[in-house]
Structures are given as C-alpha cells and as structure tokens.
Amino acid sequence: MSDQDEQPEHEQHFRVEGMVPTGDAIITARFDRDDSHTYDGYVSSGGYTALRKALTEMSAATVHNEIKLSEIQGRGGAGFPAGIKWGFLPEGVYPRYVVVNGDESEPGTYKDRMLMERDPHQLIEGTVLTCYAVDAAQAFLYVRGEMALAQERLAQALNEAYERNLVGRNVLGSDFSVDITLTWGAGAYIVGEETALIESLEGERGMPRLKPPFFPAVKGLYLQPTIVNNVETLANVPYIVNEGGQTFHDIGAPTSTGMRMFAVSGHVNRPGVFEVPNGVTTFRMLFEAPEYCGGVRDGRAIKAFIPGGASAPWFYEEHLDFPLDKPTVDKAGSMLGSGAIVVMDERTDVVAACWRIVRFFARESCGKCTPCREGTTWLERVLKRILDGAGRAEDLDTLLSVSENISPGLTFPPRQTTICPLGPSAVAPITSAIERFRDEFEHYIDHGVPKDGIDRHPITATGVPVHA
C-alpha cells in the first residue's frame, strides 16, 4: 500500500460542479450546508414547498402523473420506473402502505446513507408526497441497522416534522393524514430485497417471498398493497413535484432520466459520491475528469471495473466510453444497479477480488433456497483454496458447474433456480473473472501464488461456516 499515512478528505466531493449543461444537483444540492439535516436548514433552502404545493393545488392523481411523466427509474438496483410501480396498486384495497428501503448494503454502494444523514427532511417530504399520491395512511422508513447516525438524524427530523404538522393528522390543515414510522434492521444484506424487507418489517427472519404471488404492490406488508421504493428514488420526488415531471425528464438521457448518484470507489485518486446527469456521463469522464475522480491511482491502467454493485458483471477498458445509461449498460451484459462503481487497477488480484465478492454472498445467503445456500458456500471454499495455494486442476470447471446450478446458462440478466437474485449475484463475478482472466486463475492453481505484478493481500479470514 502506498501513501498509507495520507488522510484524504474525500467527503467534500459531493457537489456537482460544471460539466452539467442540462441541470444542477438536485438531491445533493444541500450537502455543502452545515445545517442541511435540520428543519431550519431544509426550509430556508426551499424545503417542504412541494408538499404545500401538492396539498393545495394538486390532486393525488396529478402528483402520480408527474412522477409517471418524469420516468424516474428506481434507484435501488432493478431500475423499474417508479410511476408505473405505483400504478400497480389495486384500486379500492385498504389499508395500503409505503415502505422506504434504506437498507443500503450492496458492496460499493454509498449514497442512501448520505441522503439520510445529510438531508433527512427531503426524504420525509418525498415519503409524505408518495403517500399522498398513492393514498397510503402509513409509511415505514426502514433504515439499515448499522447506520446509527442516519437513524438519529431521521428520528430528529421526523420529530420536527410531526411538531410542524408536516406529518400526522390533517397535514398542514388538509384532509390528508399520514403516519411515518421509523424502523430499522439489524444486519442482513438480503433485507434490501423488497419482499425480505417486508418479512423483516413483520418481525420475521429476512427471507424473500416468492413472486408471484407476493408482488408487494398487490400482496405486501401484512399481505396488503405496499409500495417499496429506494431512498434515492423518493428523495427526488419533491423536486419532481415542484418543477414538474417534464423538467426532470429533460435532464439526462431520454432512456435514463434525471440526475443520479454514483459512488466511485477503489483505485481512483479521488473516490467520491457524485450526482451527475443520468445516461449521458461516461465512465471515462467519471474516472478521469479532475472534478470527479481525477484518474487512476499512480497513473496505472484499469484492469476491470464493476459498473453497478457487487452483483454486476464486470466491465473493462473497452466499456470506458459507455454512458451511464441503463439500456446501454444492460445491453452490454451488466447493470448500473445501485450506482456503485468499483475501479480495479492493473495490479489487482482478480482472483482475490472474485473470492471476496463471493464470500460476501455466501455469508449473506439467507439459506432459503438450496442452490444458493449450498452453492455460494462451495463457490467460496473453492475460490479460497485456490487463493491458499491448494487449487486443483478441475476447480475452474467445478466453479462454473456450481454456478450453472444456481444460474442456468450463465447469462445476464441471469436465469435463476432461486427465489431471489442473491444466488445469481454470486455467479456474476465468477463468470466475469474466469472468462477474462482465466490465466490468472490457472497460474494460482499451478504455482500457488499470483502472477508477477499482482498485489497480494494478507487475507487472514477463515472460510464461511456451513449453514446450520
């Protein structure tokens, strides 16, 4: 490791500067204010105007329509248009609920925590507006357990909002009433999957439900109609209501509208979270531009990068000029997922990188489906023995065969023999790495060490215990 003793101050890079011909920062606009998390800070910078506007001038259907017009895609991973999702609620079925998914845990993802810690009122306003639009009387803000500060800031903001009648009975004197319950998890990646989150919110083990029949919009929380949306998605709602869906749609690309937050981590000079026009900024701009990441560490070449969280198949130098546009990335066989980009330079041990991602999924498999529970565990063990210098000639075939049992055909988007996409997610780094870097795996198997020019990590971890 070089420059171990330097303490970079990355946190300053949240603002978007220049380079944004089509708009300015939307949801991170307040991030440089010291008081961005307070009621006063929020209101003095235009907060809660969208809610006042909606309650006095707009019907629920009009608010919903603006969201449809904006064509905002969900920011949690799947990228499903929020306006269409809201439309799936069956008419006349009550009670219905809104659940805000703040269980951000996809490796590389670092944006929802920022939004909850730095602008909690924006999320609360977005949540109230969503409840108004879909006629829900109660919302649950589910925050990841490990995020103590986010829980604290949201609790404070919620208390302030209740005191000022921005949440509660007859919001701002209107006929509309809504309660928001702040709730939180306790450490389980899988709870970010919407049906697992619902199970967790019911006080159960966070195991996903089978879809169909358990599409949340139809049979969600307590088997009632439920809208589950990601934090970043709902944080955009006040802007859309204020400025109109068309204004939002005009930002970015027609196929990926609005601004979007991306976290770039790994071997770049200035890792950071950036809110950029969706669909038009390219990976290269993000990695190289001085206002963003400022190039790869020590001027090295990029070996691979992950475009959308640990679950995404890897990209390489030939993908650098692709825009961060959902259809473009989808077509190239990967996904933008949760906006988590991880850059690996030429000295990266890709076998170790692959193992580490697989260990994550092996640890986080909920154990409900056999191919995932057993498969991820075995994938981890085989990769670990390769790393430990005990690899066998047949190991690559074994890895691919186990992968095939979890995700038949090894395609992307994946087919799956499991209820949820966690199992196939463990397969993505394996197929990526073996296809591109087979020689590095073989070198490990033949010689017990990585090829020359690769940085090795002192991995002390023991294997993942077999599920009880």
What is the closest distance, in whole angstroms, from the C-beta atom of residue 419 to other proteins in the complex?
16
CB of 353 to other proteins, least distance (A): 6
Which is nearest to 260 in space by CA: 289, 284, 239?
239
Binding to other proteins by residue 175, rule CB under 8 A? no
- Judged by CB under 8 A, does residue 90 bind other proteins? no
Q: How far is the CB of 53 from other proteins (least distance, A)?
A: 22
Q: Which sign does the torsion angle of CA 297, 451, 410, 381 carry?
A: negative
Q: Does 181 bind other proteins (CB under 8 A)?
A: yes
Task: Work out which of 100, 276, 312, 353 binds other proteins, going by CB under 8 A.
Answer: 353
Contacts of 177 (CB under 8 A, 6+ apart): 137, 168, 169, 170, 171
Is residue 202 a contact point for other proteins (CB under 8 A)?
Answer: yes
Residue among 267, 319, 384, 443 that touches other proteins (CB under 8 A): 267
Closest CA relative to residue 109, chosen from 338, 383, 392: 338
Q: Is 182 in the site for other proteins (CB under 8 A)?
A: yes
The residue among 253 and 357 lying less far from other proteins, judged by its C-beta, is 357
> Can you tell me the distance from the alpha carbon of 419 to that of 421, in angstroms, rounded to the nearest whole number?
7
Q: C-beta of 66: minimal distance to other proteins in Å?
A: 26
Q: Would you count residue 189 as binding other proteins (CB under 8 A)?
A: yes
Token digits for 84?
């269409």
Who's near 111: CB < 8 A, 6+ residues apart?
75, 104, 232, 261, 262, 263, 273, 338, 339
Q: Does 352 bind other proteins (CB under 8 A)?
A: yes
Q: Does 206 bind other proteins (CB under 8 A)?
A: yes
107 makes contact with other proteins (CB under 8 A): yes
**Dist CA 299 CA 296 (whole Å):** 5
Largest CA distance in the chain: 73
Q: Which stretch binds other proteins (CB under 8 A): 55-63, 156-164, 377-385, 409-417?
A: 156-164
Q: Least distance to other proteins from the beta carbon of 242, Å?
A: 26
Q: How far apart are the first and last CA of the chain?
A: 38
**In the complex, least distance from residue 301 CB atom to other proteins, rounded to whole angstroms:** 15
Per CB under 8 A, 415 contacts other proteins: no
